[in-house]
Amino acid sequence: MAGKFEVFVDAEAQYRFRLTAPDGTELAVSAAFSDKAAAVAGIEAVRECAGMGLISDLCPAGGSAPAGIPVPVPAAALAVPVLPACEPQRTTVDAFRIHATARRAAAALHWSGAA
């Protein structure tokens, strides 16, 4: 199950959106937008950029984290297999058609604008 974007009005009467995990955990909150259309455009930008976004390590090299900040786990210790981005992925024609149909169905679901 995927997370979801929620558009809301903050205490200063500005539009914002938040990304929540399937369990309801708040993952991110946007900057303030002056209108709902701009907030929705921000969601579209996040959807477009975040899927394959690069990870930049801005931590100081060799230093320890300040007190109260958890130390990040090295990438090598994670049990997630990483496929090279340039490695060709072979698929059957039927699998491609099923995937394309699913993508078209997902693309057909758009924010309705009803609030």
Say if residues 28 and 19 touch (Cβ distance below 8 Å).
yes
Residue 104 lies in a domain: no
CATH (domain of 4)? 3.30.160.160
Taken in order 86, 87, 88, 89, the sign of the CA dihedral is: negative
Per-residue pLDDT in tens (0 to 9) along the chain, 115 residues: 688 999 999 999 999 999 999 998 999 999 999 999 999 999 998 888 877 777 788 888 765 655 555 555 555 554 544 444 444 556 566 665 666 666 666 555 555 555 5
Residue 12 lies in a domain: yes
Residue 42 lies in a domain: yes
Residue 37 lies in a domain: yes
CA 101 remoteness from chain centre: 22
pLDDT for the residue 40 = 93
The rounded distance, in Å, linking the Cα atoms of 42 and 16 is: 9
pLDDT for the residue 57 = 82
Residue 88 lies in a domain: no
| DSSP H stretches of helix in the chain | 36-50, 93-108
- Specify the number of domains making up the chain: 1
pLDDT for the residue 53 = 72
Boundaries of domain holding 47: 1-52
